[in-house]
Amino acid sequence: MPRRQHDLTLPDLAGRRAVVTGASDGIGLGIAAALAGAGAEVVMPVRNRTKGDAAVARIREQVPGARLELRDLDLSSLASIAALGETLRAEGTPIDHLVNNAGVMHPPERQATADGVELQLGTNHLGPFALTAQLLPLLRAAGGRVTTQTSVAARRASIAWDDLGSDRSYDAMKAYGQSKLATGLFGYELQRRSQAAGWGVTSVVSHPGVAPTGLLSARPEMGRTEDTREVRLIRWLSARGILVGTVDSARLPALLAATAADATGTELYGPQGVGGTGGRPGAQEPWKPLRSTDDAARLWEVSQELTGVSFG
């Protein structure tokens, strides 16, 4: 049976400025291309300029004349995040959309960020947390929207308050689930704090379902010499239109979250098929672990301590 194609018509984004992390690959590349196609100027902060240049060329093939800007960013380094924040604040252009999309998954052995934090917690949660704080004045100036990508892995995850950084014991899957739960909790807490303080910024949470990106592929820097069994299975299912999405469809929930006029910041955008792993994008009630306001408030304080940033 041919796969059912899902698509989205975005509003006209001419005159808007968007920042999309992880835009050199996978889902983020698709998000950046779609926002540029709708007329937005897209800032693409990347770790690797060669990959960034290739991504820009790919987007310009689809969107001739796309307004794209490469910047340097390593989300596993607070110094790199601060440097990007300082540069963009000095330039002063308001930011309408920040899409916190970049992420890493399952280094088989525990790895740490430049700041000594477990890599997945650091890159997937503390990095976007610090980046959002750095860009808050520009987001406030635009009345902008922050979209943060969580994962189906957050659905059954919990926060290990007594071993947040997996210092005592490391389980790659648990640490990933925790990091994606943390970033989702951050997205909802940001919405509550913005509303309470009158920042005028909307924070919306999305998840892409499951799609065969490079997240689980061979990556020497992640200690993986070959594609994992999971990514081979996801590729197989995706090619046959079974259960999971495609790299193309997986970008749609974040795009909907970033642009829907009726988004309130309390819902979870994701694919609405069986198990939430594929299907048409839409909004639903957040999974239970994402609804804990106690965990979200506690994590906010811990994240401020660990990153040294303040939302002012």
Residues classed as catalytic: 176
In angstroms, give the least distance from the CB of 281 to ligand NAD: 14
- Residue 50 phi, psi dihedral angles, 5° rounding: -65, -45
Considering only 17, 43, 88, 123, the residue that binds ligand NAD (CB under 6 A) is 123
In angstroms, give the least distance from the CB of 310 to ligand NAD: 22
Applying the rule CB under 6 A, the residues between 20 and 49 that interact with ligand NAD are 21-22, 24-28, 47
Of 48 and 264, which has the nearer Cβ to ligand NAD? 48
Give the number of other CB atoms < 10 A from CB of residue 205. 31
104 binds ligand NAD (CB under 6 A): yes
134 binds ligand NAD (CB under 6 A): no
> For tokens 């926002």, what's the residue?
35
187 binds ligand NAD (CB under 6 A): no
Per DSSP, 121 falls in state I
# residues contacting ligand NAD (CB under 6 A)? 29
In angstroms, give the least distance from the CB of 150 to ligand NAD: 7
Of 34 and 199, which has the nearer Cβ to ligand NAD? 34
Give, rounded to a whole angstrom, the gap between the first and last alpha carbons of the chain: 53
Question: Of the listed pieces 56-64, 95-103, 184-192, 302-310, which binds ligand NAD according to CB under 6 A?
Answer: 95-103
147 binds ligand NAD (CB under 6 A): no
131 binds ligand NAD (CB under 6 A): no
User: Which amino acid appears at position 89 of this protein?
Assistant: R
Are the C-beta atoms of residues 43 and 69 closer than 8 Å to each other? yes
Q: Which of 190, 235, 252 is nearest to 31 (CA)?
A: 252
Would you state the torsion angle of the CA atoms of residues 140, 296, 278, 172, taken in this order, to the nearest 10 degrees?
120
The DSSP secondary structure of 211-275, one letter per residue, reads: ---GGGS-BGGGTBSS--HHHHHHHHHHHTT-SS--TTGGGHHHHHHHH-TT--SSSEEEE-SGG
In angstroms, give the least distance from the CB of 223 to ligand NAD: 14
Of 26 and 187, which has the nearer Cβ to ligand NAD? 26
| Parallel, antiparallel or unpaired: strands 202-206 and 145-149 | parallel
Give the number of other CB atoms < 10 A from CB of residue 240. 11
214 binds ligand NAD (CB under 6 A): yes
Considering only 18, 138, 139, 210, the residue that binds ligand NAD (CB under 6 A) is 210
Could you list the residues that contact ligand NAD (CB under 6 A)? Answer: 21-22, 24-28, 47, 73-76, 101-105, 123, 149, 151-152, 180, 207-208, 210-211, 213-215
